[in-house]
Structure 1
Amino acid sequence: MGDNKIIGKVPFMMVLFFLVLSCFPATVQPSINTAVQLMAGFGPSIVLPLTGNVYPRGYFELSLRIGNPPKSFTFEIDTGSDLTWVQCDADCEGCSLPKHELYKPGKAYVPFDDPLCAEIGNPGSDDPKKICSFNVTYVDGSTSGYLVRDIFTLRPDKGSTSGSSTLTFGCGNKIQSYTGEPLETAGILGLSKSVVSIPSQLRAVRETQNVIGHCLSGKSGGFLFIGNDPVPSSGVTWVPMLKKKQYYASGPADLFFDGTDIKLSHVLFDSGSTYTLFPSTIYGAILSLLSKDLIGKKLVQVPFEQDGTLPVCWRGIEPFKSQSDVKRYFKTFTLRFTKDAGLQLPPETYLVISEHGNACLGILNGTVYGVEYNLLGAISMLDKMLIYDNEKGRIGWTSGDCFPPISRTEPFSAML
C-alpha cells in the first residue's frame, strides 16, 4: 500500500485505511516474558519520547537521528503507514524545511530489483542501474521520491548492545499540498505490519521483536516503543489481530452507550489519524444517542461557521475550560469485543475543547471522507498503552500514565 496511502486534514492530519474482513474471539492473556526475547537473540527494546497532542497539534511526533555523523529529524508516528520517508535534499520540490535542514541522501539509493522495492508496489526491472521510486498519495497532497538506505541511531544511550541500524526508507523530493498547508514534521514514521515498515526491518535483522506500542498522553507527549520489554506482565486486554493485511485491525465489536449498543464490523487502530471515524449510518446513530442524552443539560449545538474546529460542537452556559467541565455533561462509550474485552472511551477520548471554549466531537462521519469502515484514531487512544504484537498476532491495551519508562527494560506501570 506504499503508493495508495491516504491521509488528510479535517482540519488535522488523518490517516485512512482499507478494511479487511475477518472474525476472531477476544481473550485476555499474559505478555511474553522479557527473558525469552533476550535469549532468542533479539536486542533490547527501543523506547522513544513523543511530543504533540490531539488538539491543537493534531499529531504526535518523535526525533530520530539518521546518517553518519547523525542528524536529527522529526517524524509523525503512524501505525497506518508502511513506508518511512523524510524530506530530502535532492532537487526537492515543495519541501517545507529549509534546505540546510533537509536529509542529504548521498549515494545509498536502493536498486529497482531490491525485494523491498516490490513491497511498495514497484515491478521488477532488468536495468541494474535503475533506482527504486515511490509515490504516496494523500487526501491533502502527495509525496514521491526514491528509496535509500542509511544508518538510524536508535539507542544513543550508553550501555546499549547496538546503537544503530541500517534501514531502508524514502527520500521524498516531490511534496505537493492540496490545501496549501506545509508539512510540519520532516517526515512520516511508518509502523504498519508491512515488511517495509521500520519495526519489520528491525525484526528481519533480529534487532528487536516485532512488537510496537505507544502511550499518547491526554496532556501532551507520551512514548513509543519497539520490542517487548515495556509490555506489562499482567493487566493487558488482548484481542486477535486480523491476519494477512498490513494494517492493525480487530474483529467485530459492539459500541455501547447508556444501555444501547451499536453493532460494528471490524475496527482499525490508527495512531496517525487524529480523530475516530465511522461510516455515516453508525456515525448518525452515535450522534443521535449523544443528542438524546444531552436533552435538558443546557448545551446548545454550535453551527460550524461559529467555531470551525470540528463539524459538531456544543456550547455551555459558560465556556468549557477543561475536560473536567465536560465530564458533567457527557457519558462514557464502551467498545466491547467480547464479554471480557472492552475498551473504555470516556469523554476526553472523543471530545476536544476548542479555543472558543466549546466541546467538539472528535468522532467524524467517515463516509464524507470516503471511509466506509470503523477507524479508531489517536483521540480514542489517549492515556492508554496500545500494543501491536506482531509476533503473536494480537492487539492489546491497558490504562496508565504515559511517562516513558526509566529504562528500555522497565515494564509499563499499568493502572489496574
Structure 2
Amino acid sequence: MASRMASITGVLLLLLVVPSSSSHVKFDLHGNIYPGGCIYVSMRIGDQVYNLDVDTGSVLTWLQCHIPNCEGPCKTQHPLYKLKYDKLVPSMDPLCVELLQHPGNPEGSTCEYSIDYVKGVSHGLLIRDKFTLPIARTAHHIIPFGCGYNQQGFKPCQNLPVDGIIGLGRGSSVNLAFQLKKQNVIKNDVISHCISIRGGGFLFIGDYKHPNNVEWVTMDRNAEHGHYSPVLLGELFFNGKWISEKPMKVVFDSGSTYTYFDRQPYKATEDAVIGSLHKSLTTVRDNEFKLCWKGTKIFNSVDDVKPLFKPIFLTFGRGGAKGHKATLDIPPENYLVIKDGNVCFGISDHPRLGETNLIGAITMQERTVIYDNEAGRIGWFRDSCKGKSGSVIPSRL
C-alpha cells in the first residue's frame, strides 16, 4: 500500500473482547511487502470475515461498505459489508462528538468522517455492529467502526484481498489498544509487531515479553495525531558515512509499504547507493520504482543481492543508556525488493510529506517494533518473527 499521512476529521473504534485475565491479544499477520503491498489480520465483523491492513499511522479502523449509490471502489475480495440504517451512530452521540471534536448537530442522523491520505481520500459513516473473536469462549460485542462508502484514489492494498484498515495510531482515546485497555481486555496500552521478510509475522496488542537488547527512544507526545515519532531527531549514515545535512524528523508507519525520506536525505541516499553500486549491476527502467538494476543473472531473492549493497543506519541522539545512541540499522534486505528478476530500491521521496521521514513496513522487516504508550517510548530489536509467547490467543478465523 502506498504511504499515507492521515488527517482525520472522523475516526472509529473497533473492539475485540477477551477474558480480563489476558495481558495481550495476538494476531497472525498475513500478506507481504512485495508484490502484496501490505500486512493484514483477519477478523469477523457482523457475519463475515474481513481482512484489515495493519496501520500504526492512523487511529481509524474501517471497512469498505456497500450503500446505495456506492462511489469509488465498491467491490472487495469478500462480500462488502452492507450498511443497515438502524446501526448508524447519530451526530449527537458522545462518541461522535469526541471523534469529530465538535459539539454535535441535534438534527444530525449520521456521524460522517473523512480521512485525507497521501494517495486519496476515504469518506464514511460511524456505525455499530457485532464483532466476534474466537477465544476461550465465543464473544459477541456491539461496537462502533467506520463504514467507508467512498474511497477516492485510495485503497488499503494493491494486490491482496484486504477490505479495510485496522487503525493502531497514537494519541486517541478511540484507537484499538486504548479501548481494549478500557474494557479490561489488556492490562497495558502497548502494541508490538514483527513483519517477516518471507511474508506474515505477528501482531501483539498488550504486553509483550521482549529481550534486554531493545533500542529505545522516547516517544514524541506532541507528534501529529495518530503518528508514532521519536522526540529525538535522527541522523542518517550510509556505509558508516554521515549523509544527512541536518537532523531528521522520523515517523514509524506500518501502513506504508515503503520508506520515504525528505528531499535532501533521499537524494543523498540515492547518490550514495548509486555511487557504491557493484560493477555487475546496470540500471533498468521500471514503471513502479524510481531505481532498479539488473545483474548478470536473474535475481530470485534479496539474499542474491545483499553482498552487492551497503547498509544504512539511522541514529537517534541519546537512548536509554547514558551517552548511547539508539540505532535503527537498515541492511540491504530492509530497503530492497526483487521484481521480475531485477533488484529495486524501496526508499523514495514524496512531495506531500514535507520534512517528515517515514519508516515503512519494508524497513521494519525481521524486527519487532514496540509502541509502548504506557512508558512513552518506541523500541525495536532484530527478531525471527515467530512470536514466541507463553500465553497466545489466536485470531485466525
Q: Could you state the TM-score of these two structures normalised by the residue count of structure 2?
A: 0.84
Structure 2 residue 147 is the aligned partner of structure 1 residue 185: no
| Percent of aligned pairs sharing the same letter | 39
Instruction: Tell me if the contact between 1:215 and 1:384 (Cα under 8 Å) persists in the aligned partners.
Output: yes
Instruction: Tell me if the contact between 1:64 and 1:72 (Cα under 8 Å) persists in the aligned partners.
Output: yes
Structure 2 residue 282 is the aligned partner of structure 1 residue 300: yes
1:348 maps to 333
Distance 1:352 1:269, change over 3 A: same
Secondary structure at the aligned position of 1:287 is classed as helix
Structure 2 residue 219 is the aligned partner of structure 1 residue 236: no
Structure 2 residue 223 is the aligned partner of structure 1 residue 247: no
Trace 1:354-393 onto structure 2 (pairs within 5 A): 354-355=339-340, 357-367=341-351, 369-393=352-376
Secondary structure at the aligned position of 2:81 is classed as coil
CA offset digits 1:149-197 (Å, max 9, x no partner): 233224x1326xx845543210112233379x79942111111012222
CA offset digits 1:302-356 (Å, max 9, x no partner): 2x3xx3230011222222222122112101112111434211111010011111x
Instruction: Tell me if the contact between 2:4 and 2:118 (Cα under 8 Å) persists in the aligned partners.
Output: no
Q: CA deviation at 1:125?
A: 2.6
1:133 maps to 112
1:28 maps to none
Structure 2 residue 53 is the aligned partner of structure 1 residue 80: no
Instruction: Tell me if the contact between 1:44 and 1:409 (Cα under 8 Å) persists in the aligned partners.
Output: no
Distance 1:395 1:225, change over 3 A: same
Moved more, 98-107 or 167-176: 98-107
2:201 maps to 222
- Which sections of structure 2, spanning at least 5 residues, go unmatched? 8-17, 319-323
Q: CA deviation at 1:47?
A: 0.5
Q: CA deviation at 1:232?
A: 1.4
Moved more, 275-284 or 145-154: 145-154
Letter in 1 for 2:375: K
Instruction: Tell me if the contact between 2:2 and 2:258 (Cα under 8 Å) persists in the aligned partners.
Output: no
Moved more, 127-136 or 284-293: 127-136
2:13 maps to none
Distance 1:298 1:244, change over 3 A: same
Distance 1:214 1:136, change over 3 A: same
Q: CA deviation at 1:283?
A: 0.6
C-alpha distance in 2, partners of 1:301/1:353?
14
C-alpha distance in 2, partners of 1:344/1:139?
26
Q: CA deviation at 1:43?
A: 3.5
Secondary structure at the aligned position of 1:13 is classed as coil
Instruction: Tell me if the contact between 1:47 and 1:408 (Cα under 8 Å) persists in the aligned partners.
Output: no
Secondary structure at the aligned position of 1:274 is classed as coil
Secondary structure at the aligned position of 1:88 is classed as strand
1:394 maps to 377
- Of 81, 85, 104 in structure 2, the residue corresponding to residue 103 of structure 1 is 81
Secondary structure at the aligned position of 1:50 is classed as strand
C-alpha distance in 2, partners of 1:17/1:256?
29
Instruction: Tell me if the contact between 1:16 and 1:371 (Cα under 8 Å) persists in the aligned partners.
Output: no
C-alpha distance in 1, partners of 2:197/2:77?
34
C-alpha distance in 2, partners of 1:134/1:88?
14
Structure 2 residue 192 is the aligned partner of structure 1 residue 207: no
Q: CA deviation at 1:127?
A: 1.3
Instruction: Tell me if the contact between 1:66 and 1:153 (Cα under 8 Å) persists in the aligned partners.
Output: yes
Q: CA deviation at 1:105?
A: 4.1
1:176 maps to 152
Instruction: Tell me if the contact between 1:350 and 1:379 (Cα under 8 Å) persists in the aligned partners.
Output: yes
Instruction: Tell me if the contact between 2:370 and 2:378 (Cα under 8 Å) persists in the aligned partners.
Output: yes
- Which sections of structure 1, spanning at least 5 residues, go unmatched? 1-11, 19-37, 411-416
Secondary structure at the aligned position of 1:16 is classed as coil
Q: CA deviation at 1:375?
A: 0.6
The Cα RMSD (Å) is 2.7
Instruction: Tell me if the contact between 2:120 and 2:153 (Cα under 8 Å) persists in the aligned partners.
Output: yes
Secondary structure at the aligned position of 2:181 is classed as helix
Q: CA deviation at 1:132?
A: 0.8
1:403 maps to 386
- Of 32, 48, 56 in structure 2, the residue corresponding to residue 71 of structure 1 is 48
Distance 1:141 1:373, change over 3 A: closer
Instruction: Tell me if the contact between 1:277 and 1:375 (Cα under 8 Å) persists in the aligned partners.
Output: yes
2:12 maps to none
2:265 maps to 282
